[in-house]
Amino acid sequence: MAEKRKRRHSKEQLLEDKEQAAGISNPTLDEDTETYYQAFSQSQTEGESSVAEMIEENERAQVLKGELKSRHRRRRRELSKLTTPKDDVTGELKTVKLDSRKKLEETEQEADELAKALEDARVAADTSLQATGAADVESALPSPTRDKEVEQEEKETVPLSPPHSPAPPKTPEPAEAVAEDTAPPPILERTTSKDEGEITDRRRSTMRERMKSRLAKAKEEAETEIEKQERDERKRTLKGKKEITFAEMDDLEIAKLEERTERMRKRRMERTKQQEAMSYMPTLEQSYDFFTREWEEEPEEAEVPKKGDEEEEEEEKEEKPEAEEQETEEERAAKEKSKGEEAALLVDDQEYTEQSYGPVAIRKAYMDDAAVTYSAEQRMLFHPSSVRASPAEKVEGESEPRFLEDEGFYVGVKPFVADKNRSRMEDRILKESQTVKEAANWFGEDGQLIVLPDPLREAPTRPTLVDDTDMHAIDTVFYKAIMREFDSRYIDGAVDGGGFYQLDVDVNSISFSHHHLFSREHVLAHKLTLLQSEHVSRAKRNMDGFLTEKLSALKNSALLLHDYIASHKGEMSVVDRDNYERRLRDYKSEISQTRFLRDKEEQTNRTLLKSIIHTWRELKTLREQQNFVNTPVKLQIRKEDTNKEEDLAQWKLEMEEETFEEKEKFEEEFMRKEAVYKDQLEKYNKQAIEKEEAQKRISDRNRQKKRRGSKSSKGSKASKNSQERQRAEAEDDIEDESFEEENAKDQAIIDAEPLPKPEPPEALDERALKDQIKAKFMAQKRRPGEPKLFPELSNSATVSPSSQCTRAEQQRREDVSKAKLYVKILFNGKEVSRTGPRPLSQDFNVNFGEIYNLKIVEWPESIKYEIYETAGFGSGRLLAELYAPIPESSVTSQSVALENVEFSSYEKIQFTHDGVGSGVAFKFEGHVPDLVTLMTSGTLNSSVAWAVGDDGLPLVPTEKFGAGYKAATQMKRLDPFAAIGASGVSNLEKLLEWFKQSRLDPNDPNNKDIVYMLSGGDQTLLAPREYFRLEPLQQEFDLATVEEIEKNLRYKIITLRDQENPIFKGYQMVPCLEREIPKDALKEYEKKQREETQMPHVKGDLEHHRAQVNLYLQKIKERVTAQYRFASHQKTLQDVVNEDTVPNITMIATSLLRLSEPRRPLRPVRKERKKVTAQALDGKEVKILINIIRASYIPVRKAVRSEVIEKGKSSKGVATASNRHHSDYLIPSSSAARDVDGTPIGETYDDLVCPFVEVMFQRSRVRTRQGEGPNPSFNEELELVLKVPNDDYSPSSLQAIEDIIFINLFDEVTVDVLEDNRERETNIHQRIEKKWLGSINIPFSTVYFNNKIDGTFRINTPPFLLGYTYDMLQAQPGASEVETTIGRGSSYLSMFVTIEPSLSLPEPFKEKLATTEEEELIERADAWQAELEKQFPKRTYKTTVMDTMGKNVFVTRYFRSIKPPPEVEACTDPQKAMETAARYVSMIPFVADTALFPGQCDIWSTCNQFMKMLCGDEEEHAVLLTNYFLAMGKTAYLMLGNAIPEGQTAYVLTCDADKYHLWNARTGESYSVHDNYCPIQSIGCLINAENIWANIQEYEKPSQMDFNLTNTSCWLTFYNKAYLNKGLASVQPAELFYHRKDKKFDSMVLELQERIEQMLKNKIMEWRSRYITRWNRHCTQIMRKLLPLLEEIHGKQIEQSHLRDLEESFKSYKVSGFPLNLPFTDMTSITEAVFSTGVHAKETSDVEFALAVYVHGYTNNVMSVWVYVASLIRLR
Amino acid sequence: MANPSVFLLMVSGQIESAEFPEFDDIYCKYCFSYGLDWAITSGLDESITQITKKSRDEYQRFVWNFPIDATFKSTSPSGWPQLVIYAYGLDAFGTDVVRGYGVCHIPITPGRHCLRLPMFVPESSSLLQKLTAWFLGRRPEYVNPRVVAQGEGREVTRVRTQGFLTVSFNIIMKDMKKLGYDILPSDVQNPTIPAGVAGTETAKAS
């Protein structure tokens, strides 16, 4: 094996290039390296052992070399013919192999051929031999297939290829390879062996060895070859695609491997060289030869003994092929046998390899026995045949397959499946079906597999949506809108419909029957013409002649009939006679009728003739008169003479006849009348007789009755038969009744109206008749002898030329010649064409003779002519409009005749010339006296017809037409409602009718319902529905009832949240499941609901009132909230989009100005900071920054020795260090503490005061360091953290913070507590105490809304501070009134407060509110305000404010003098009264609007609302105060402006004798406008009931301003001369209701007072829980007395005398304390205020406290609360 | 019940790319806008991407591939989170100018979703304003970008389209089904019937 490998290796070396080129060498890495390694190691070992041998052989080889070479060359030449690329071979092999596997016999055959071929190829004996050898070795390999392969290889070695391999003959690679280089020596050896035959044993052995090695090599080659093939095959068959990459990879590997082998080879060569060098030194050539040829062949020795038997076998096998060649039959058996042998061999081999190579067990890759596998596979696997099965097999039961497609069924295209695969499938199914018997299910009737038609479509059903490519396929394509008008003016439904329709309008001529330019002659001539034409037409008709003839004929026949009747009278039956007589009567009436007609005709003719003659005469006279002739009319009368006698006879005859007829007629009439008369007379007589008889009968009956009455009474007695009697009685009764009846009848006869007595008819008056007829004849008929006249009209008269005419006539003629006419043709009201202007001829005719073709698209509705007349210029005037009839579709331009259409104009035209004008009365100058008025009139000769197309067809729309009709039908066709109305739809009959008319297409699916319905299918569809359903399916989706849903807790919460209910607004994570919702979720809400609906039960009037107020507030708040919520959801563009405003000139100007401004680095301006939204704040702290700059005018300690006090002198001792603590003693001072002597203060500086500022906010405190003196400078920045509930920094929650920033000023006092003075030198024992001096309270909201507060503030100091006084030294002597205020106890603090980071503000309430004000007023107000704000953006201007109803109210309405409370009225001193009023107002608690209402909205409540609520912000206070002042007769204004610390605020300005004062209504303080420390920073406007004054001055600080309101350059008024105050009614009540103060009230106040006191005491004890708190009752008593006093003077500086008591009593105490005054709101605010002063903070037990509370109740529950807290420390 | 039962919505994804013709150097900010019943439990609510330049190929895309990762918990699908993206870019003067606002709901079904959001900007209210906005480099922009996720106030704005932005999401949900929300087709086939309703159903049936 090793040997083989080595050989192979060498071969590979040699083959390198070729293989590389072919790219097929594909050994796996492991295998190869292994091989190489083995080969290498072997070469080493063997090389050593066989050196001697090698030398020997070398010698021999040398001898044979030359021979060999020559042979080799020869063979090569032969082979070169056959050489082809190796892969061809392998490819070929593969196919062959496949075939051979299946068709063993074939292979055998081929083998035969091969054998033959081999024999043929013996020429190249060596190769073939070798090949066979190889083949033999191959056959030893386990796989039988390989065996075959090798056989095929052999085949291919044959130069002449067998038939099944048509490719050009190839030499197998192994053979070739051997042939190339390594082959020669063995060949040589073989030949020698063959030739010589006898060789020595050893030699033979070597020979054998060589043979063996050669064989082995061939075998190896074959093996590798096969391996390669197999691998290739596998690759190709399994993964066709991957082959390439594999190959590539392999190539790489190969390259690598080859490189390596190359290296190895070199190394080996070197080694062998070394070895050789050790043994002996061959020549260069020798060594070369040796290395190149010989060294491969010697390593056999080790193997020889073991391989002995093998060899033999191989030898045997060597011969075997030959045997096979001859005996193909035996081959199989041999193979079978060989299999077993091979297996054994293989095992041997393995054993051998393992044994021989020591510890390193290098195994060949384990392989299953392929043969076993194969046979097992053969058993298990089923290979269906790809031969097509006959259809007969597949169709079960049926004899013949059916082809549906041929029968016309649609059979889809079946998906393509390769035939081979299909037949395999079929085969498989068939084979399986032999066991399962279900083949029929798989095959269709046509014997094919049942296959669904190919579901794939060629074209994609939707366009591929590629992201990036532009998609033209689904682009929107623009189509022009198609006009489809249901009014169907268009014939084809649209403008550009297909049809071509044309109307031809022929305008031929116009002739005027009257024209305004007619002269009189023309009028007459025209009249004459008319009459003549009438006459002519009558003559033509000859009506009278016809009637005359008819008359004579009638007469004749009547006569004949009469005669006939007379002659045959006897013979005729009655009926016939009647008949004849009736005929005769008919004749007669006919005759009279005809005669009447004839008479009429004759009369007309005669009058016509007369008027002709008359007119002509007139004309003639006119012509004579005017001396010229205007018209060519000429009448000639032809006379025809007649015979007078004849005429007369005729006349008479006619008269006779007529008379006779008349008479006859009359007689008939008379007879008829006579008969009637007779009849009536008879009736009359008869009636008279009847009456008489009736009378008689009645009297008879009466008599009879009486008689019968007596008879019956008699009979009753005498009668025997009672029955009979009874009957008789009954009869009598009946008789009686009948009598009665008859009586009645007779009575009726008597009573009947008596008939009138008839008159006999009159007899004929013959004479009168004759006269009548004669008169008629005279009037109507030509008299006898009168000539017959025939007028003949001709135009033969010559018209006189213009020159002969009068001037007027000349003008007229000129006008006529100037006049032109044209006709416009309007189609459907639109002008479509017009004729050219044509001149009017002198005889007033215009000829056009034009035909206009109108191509129409609309249905013709009207064709109108408009006749215009122009005088040569301009468009002229409309003479007349006339309509032409729309032609019938049968009327075409070929068949139409011109028609005359008459027209006339109603225009009045009058001329100065001879023209008669139109519509104007004129007179003929001749003998015609009467006036004539004629209108311009004439006829238009024209025609309208449908045009005829080239094809002779009329261009008429095919459908019926006619304007109105058409439009209606068109509409009706499309819309049943239009056709029959909505009600008609429900009427089936109407609908049917409409359906028939509209000719709907019954096949149109749109009409399906109607057709179905009308065809009688379902009449119910037509019946109107009796119900109405909005959402018929709604119920199906109701998962729960409405109640259930509303009961749901979760639903409730979500609803409330959505409604932005304050409790639930922003409620996060509403639990998903109802059971997870906390049970008490709604508790708070429900509680609140309860509270709102019912008053909470509280004790005490005050609380009750408070509760009411709260309720009321709540209501307002709700309303405002609702409004605000609504408004906040109405966004404007500014709310949503940030957009820069367009810069205008002023903006640019200011920015330019800013550039030129001088830079002032020493005056830095605070930069506006960026606002931070709540979201951005997450996790950050918000701080309040307070920068305390300085304080001024701080009260100083009173430091007076007790001795001094005793002396009562007003002197101030020099405070030294030793008595420092004594300075704190409470020392009563009767006078001001000012040192009159002016002791230098410098020395006592430290002792005066040591103030510091402490800021408390939300119970956290920070303080500055201690300052020095009354005017300390701190310059310290204090920080306080803002604590917001729930960390919600949204504006809505921030604005609700009601915390107050307390800025307290304290004096830091060091108290020496050292008991023993002896220790003084060594010990220091001091206590630091702080004494409250004053405070400033700033609500957080003020800071929040103003963002920063900057300035100098007045510190609220108590009215008196025990132990402190003001250092009067600072007040400049001789200072103005303003300065003196300082002495009154005002300290000032300069500071700057802001929030860091700057927080965003809530959105201002910008909604334009509803208003009840007049539109005009609001408009002006807006404009006025906008104008001012533009000018002074920083000033506050207000015109309208929002009231509690959420409506805009004009601000002046808030002012009205209101009677102040009784307390004020009680004051006599006006100044005092004002102060009291201010005091009263200031005691009403203050609550910022922002805390009450959401957003930045400012609500102004009216005074009564304010009083009711008892809380409000600056505006309410100020308004109330203003109103009080107004009531007190002061001039007062509400001032809007900015103040510190409030920001935007409202003050009251009063004017008293040119002294202006500003009142802070909130605190009750007043300032002079000249006060520098006035908190007002800017004044915006002043308002009162009369007007609004806007500040337009340069300055806005009150001290700099001019308060002369009449000065228009300083103050701009809202109402002015142009816009007067209309006196708007005030919204304020006329007066406020003040509760009377009674005992109950007093007790209530007292109760409150006690409660407060109690509470405060408790609190203080609570605060000082570490120490004992003692209460000094005595002090409290004194203080209680003091407090009402303070209230009385409104908290001003108290007179010292009042304090004396206190001072006296507590000489032995160091007392520090102060009174606090605040309006009563609730307990907590009082506690807070006390706490902030820190009185309790005396960290020692030996302190006593005094607490006095005084509540002063004003009217309407306004409370002023005074709290006096003091601490007393006993002096030692 | 200390913790109400919630369902979780986990969103991971990325702002992939965008097309803004005519612009360059664009970066995005994004934020989520969600209702009151939602809370973000992990991940970033807001973030800002890197600046990207447009690709030099024919597509001219802006590619960020900026990851989004957030987990929400919620008790109610109402107020389902929306992703609001607003892109900024430098204009010719180097100022940051808004280039587009876009919004989309987080997909409501689990799985991978790729959405293409149209991006738009509010228009200037007049031509003059437009001109000045251009000059000053301060184009109109929304006061609060979350406006685009709401209906309120949108009626007053007019917008102009600017381009498109592609976002991909991978959505995972938890406990939706448990709380009775059927969102997957498979869920819908076997709908969750609340206990009460089921009771009534059976009651009706019987």
pLDDT, greater one: A106 or A1298 = A1298
Task: List the single best residue of A1136, A1173, A1406 to mutate versus B (max B Cβ within 10 A).
Answer: A1136
Q: Is A1145 near chain B, with CB under 8 Å?
A: no
The DSSP code for A367 is -
- The secondary structure of A901-953 as a DSSP string is EEEE----B--SSS---BSEEEE-SSS--SEEEE--EEEEEEEEEE-B-TTS-
Res A928: pLDDT: 54
Residues of chain A positioned with their CB less than 8 A from the CB of B129: 1139-1142
Report yes or no: A602 and A493 within 8 Å, Cβ to Cβ: no
SS3 for A492? coil
Residue A1151: predicted pLDDT: 75
Q: Which residue has the higher pLDDT, A1527 or A1291?
A: A1527
Average pLDDT estimate for A706-719: 53
**3-state per-residue secondary structure call for A664-705:** HHHHHHHHHHHHHHHHHHHHHHHHHHHHHHHHHHHHHHHHHH
Question: Domain locations in chain B?
Answer: 7-175
C-alpha–C-alpha distance, residues A1660 and A1731, integer Å: 8
Tell me what percent of the residues of chain A surpass a pLDDT of 90: 0
* pLDDT recorded at residue A1303: 87
What's the average model confidence in pLDDT over A1484-1512?
73
**Which of chain B's residues have a Cβ under 8 Å away from the Cβ of A1069?**
4, 6, 36-39, 74-75
Reference B24, options B99, B124, B80; nearest CA is: B99
CA A1193 to CA A125: how far, in whole Å?
139
Residues facing residue A1339 across a β-bridge? A1300
Range name among A71-80, A712-721, B148-157 with the lowest pLDDT average? A712-721
Do you know the residue count of chain B? 206
pLDDT at position A735: 64
Residue A465 at interface with chain B, using a CB cutoff of 8 Å: no
Looking at the complex, does the CB of residue B172 fall below 8 Å from at least one CB of chain A?
A: no
Residues on chain A touching B78 (C-beta within 8 angstroms): 1054
Quote the tokens at residue A869: 């007349």
Q: Are strands A1251-1257 and B7-19 parallel, antiparallel or unpaired?
A: unpaired
Phi, psi at residue A1688, to the nearest 5°? -65, -40
The residue that leads in pLDDT, A1035 or A510, is A510
Position A942, amino acid: S
For residue B1, is pLDDT > 60? no
- Rounded distance between C-alpha atoms, residue B136 and residue B124, angstroms: 13
Interchain pair A1069, B156: CB under 8 A:
no
3-state secondary structure of A1443: coil
**pLDDT tens, residue by residue, A135-170:** 444 444 444 444 444 444 444 444 444 444 444 444
Comparing A364-378, A825-839, A1095-1109, A1323-1337, the range with the smallest average pLDDT is A1095-1109
DSSP letter (8 states) at residue A1035: G
Q: Residue A1354 in 3-state DSSP?
A: strand
**Whether this model's pTM surpasses 0.95:** no
pLDDT at A718 over 60: no
**Which one, of A1549, A1552, A1572, lies nearest residue A1561 by Cα?**
A1549
Chain B CA closest to residue A1039: B197
Q: CA–CA separation, A398 vs A388, rounded Å? A: 19
With H, G, I as helix, E, B as strand and everything else as coil, classify residue B161.
strand
Lowest mean pLDDT among A421-425, A1674-1678, A1734-1738: A1734-1738
Tokens of A1160: 């002032």
Query: Is the CB of residue B4 less than 8 Å away from at least one CB of chain A?
Result: yes
User: What pLDDT is recorded for position A956?
Assistant: 75
Contacts of B126 in chain A (CB under 8 A): 1142
| Contact assessment for residue B95 and residue B56, using Cβ atoms and an 8 Å cutoff | no
Contact assignment for B75 to A1070 by CB distance below 8 Å: yes
Given pLDDT bands bounded at 50, 70 and 90, which one contains residue A444?
A: confident
Identify which has the larger pLDDT, A192 or A1320: A1320
Q: Note whether B136 contacts A1140, CB cutoff 8 Å.
A: yes
CB A1389, CB A1252: distance < 8 Å: no
Least confident of A222-236, A790-804, A1458-1472, A1505-1519: A222-236
Question: Which band of pLDDT confidence, cut at 50, 70 and 90, is reported for residue A716?
Answer: very low
What is the rounded CA–CA span in Å between residue A601 and residue A607?
Answer: 10
Sequence-ordered strand ranges (E) for A1267-1299: 1273-1281
Cα distance from A1299 to chain B (closest Cα, Å)?
Answer: 29
Q: Is the pLDDT of residue A1211 over 50?
A: no
- Residue A157 · residue A93 · CB < 8 Å: no
Check if B101 contacts A (Cβ < 8 Å): no
pLDDT score for B164? 93
- For residue A1124, what is the enclosing H or E element? helix A1101-1128
Distance from the A419 Cα atom to the nearest Cα atom in chain B, whole angstroms: 42
If you average pLDDT over residues A1197-1203, what whole number do you get?
53
Taking only the tens place, the pLDDT of each residue in A35-54 is: 555 544 454 444 444 455 55
List, in order, residues 6 or more apart from A1557 with CB less than 8 Å away.
A1549, A1550, A1551, A1566, A1567, A1568, A1569
How far is Cα A559 from Cα A664, in angstroms, rounded to an integer?
13
pLDDT at A1388: 83
Q: List the structure tokens of A1583.
A: 């308002």
- A236 or A787, higher pLDDT: A787
Residue A889 amino acid letter = S
Q: Please give the average per-residue pLDDT across A1427-1437, as a whole number.
A: 83
User: What is the rounded distance in angstroms from the CA atom of residue A648 to the CA atom of residue A774?
Assistant: 13
Residues of B in contact with A1403 (CB under 8 A): none
pLDDT digits (tens, 9 = 90+) for A1350-1387: 888 878 777 777 777 766 555 444 444 444 444 455 77
Contact assignment for B143 to A1138 by CB distance below 8 Å: yes
Question: Tens digits of per-residue pLDDT, A1586-1626?
Answer: 888 888 888 888 888 888 888 888 888 888 887 877 777 78
Compute the nearest-CA separation of A1660 from chain B (Å): 40
Whether A1404 contacts chain B with CB within 8 A: no
Of B176, B179, B38, B3, nearest to A1078 (Cα)?
B3
Is the CB of residue B124 less than 8 Å away from at least one CB of chain A? yes
| CB-CB neighbours of A1278 under 10 Å | 22
For A942, phi and psi rounded to 5 degrees?
-155, 175
Amino acid at B55: S
**Reported confidence tier of residue A132, pLDDT bands at 50, 70, 90:** very low
Contact between A1070 and B129 using a beta-carbon 8 Å cutoff:
no
pLDDT value for A430? 80
Greater confidence (A485 vs A1036) lies with A1036
Burial of residue A1162 (CB within 10 Å: 0-12, 13-18, 19+) is: exposed
- pLDDT per position as a tens digit, A1628-1649: 888 777 877 777 778 888 888 8
pLDDT for A888 equals 76
Chain A residues in contact with B8 by the CB 8 A cut-off are none
Inter-residue contact A821 to A840 (CB < 8 Å): yes
Phi, psi of A263 (to 5 degrees): -60, -50
**Cβ of residue B197 closer than 8 Å to a chain A Cβ:** yes
Q: What is the pLDDT of residue A153?
A: 44
- In angstroms, the CA B41 to CA B10 distance is 10
**Average pLDDT of chain A?**
70
Measured in angstroms, the CA of A1397 and the nearest CA of chain B are apart by: 20
Residue A2: the pLDDT is 43
Could you report the per-residue pLDDT of A280-319, keeping only the tens digit for each? 555 566 656 655 554 544 444 444 444 444 444 444 444 4
ipTM, 2 dp: 0.85
Q: Name the pLDDT band for A1699 (thresholds 50, 70, 90).
A: low
Asked which of A81-85, A737-741, A1753-1757, A1759-1763 is least confident by mean pLDDT, the reply is A81-85
DSSP assignments along A383-452, one per residue: ----SPPPHHHHS-S-SS---TTTTT---PPPPP--HHHHHHHHHHHHHHHHHH--HHHHB-TTSSBP-P
B79, B17 contact by CB (below 8 A): no
pLDDT value at position A1190? 86
Angle, alpha carbons A1094-A1100-A1106 (nearest 5°): 55
Mean pLDDT of A410-429: 81
The model's pLDDT over B85-106, given as tens digits with 9 standing for 90+, comes to 999 998 887 888 899 999 999 9
* Residue B66 binned pLDDT confidence (cut-offs 50, 70, 90): very high
Residue in chain B nearest A1129 by alpha carbon: B152
For residue B4, list chain A residues with Cβ-Cβ distance below 8 A: 1069, 1071-1073, 1076-1077
Examine the pLDDT at A273 and tell me if it is beyond 70. no
**Residues paired with residue A1492 on neighbouring β-strands, in sequence order:** none
The model's pLDDT over A954-1008, given as tens digits with 9 standing for 90+, comes to 777 765 444 444 444 444 445 544 444 444 445 566 666 666 666 665 565 556 6
Nearest to A1137 among B6, B38, B142 (CB): B142
Calculate mean pLDDT across residues A1708-1733.
79
pLDDT at A323 over 70: no
Please tell me the least confidently modeled range out of A732-736, A926-930, A1236-1240.
A1236-1240
Q: Is the pLDDT of residue A1154 over 80?
A: no
For A1040, which residue in chain B has the nearest alpha carbon?
Answer: B197
Distance (Å, whole) CA A701 – CA A708: 10
Whether A1480 and A1458 have beta carbons less than 8 Å apart is answered as: no
pLDDT digits (tens, 9 = 90+) for B102-150: 999 999 888 999 999 999 999 888 888 888 888 777 888 888 888 899 8
- CATH number of this structure's domain B7-175, picked from the four choices 3.40.50.300, 2.60.40.150, 3.30.379.10, 3.40.47.10: 2.60.40.150
Q: Write out chain A residues lying below 8 Å of B127, CB-based.
A: none
Is there a contact between A1133 and B156 if contact means CB atoms under 8 Å apart? yes
pLDDT at residue A1238, rounded to an integer: 37
The predicted pLDDT at position A1059 comes to 79
Residue A705 CB coordination number (10 Å): 15
CA A1042 remoteness from chain centre: 31
* Token reading at A1166: 């605070």
Distances, alpha carbon A971 to alpha carbons A980, A1577, A1608, in Å: 11, 79, 73
What part of A 790-819 touches B (C-beta under 8 Å)?
none
**Sheet hosting strand A1348-1355, strand order edge to edge:** A1273-1281, A1183-1192, A1387-1396, A1348-1355
Chain A residue numbers touching B141 (CB-CB < 8 A): 1137-1138
Q: Closest approach of chain B CAs to the CA of A906, in angstroms?
A: 59
Please tell me the predicted confidence (pLDDT) of residue A1707. Answer: 72
- Reading the block at residue A1772, the tokens are 């030692």
Q: Tabulate helix, strand, coil % of chain B (nearest 5).
A: 15, 45, 40
A285 class by beta-carbon count within 10 Å (0-12 exposed, 13-18 middle, 19+ buried): exposed
**A 165-194 residues with CB below 8 A of B?**
none
Query: CB contact, 8 Å: B157 with chain A?
Result: yes
* For the ranges A231-245, A483-497, A1398-1412, the one whose mean pLDDT is highest: A1398-1412
Q: What span, in angstroms and rounded, lies between the C-alpha atoms of A1299 and A1343?
A: 11
- Is A1030 near chain B, with CB under 8 Å? no
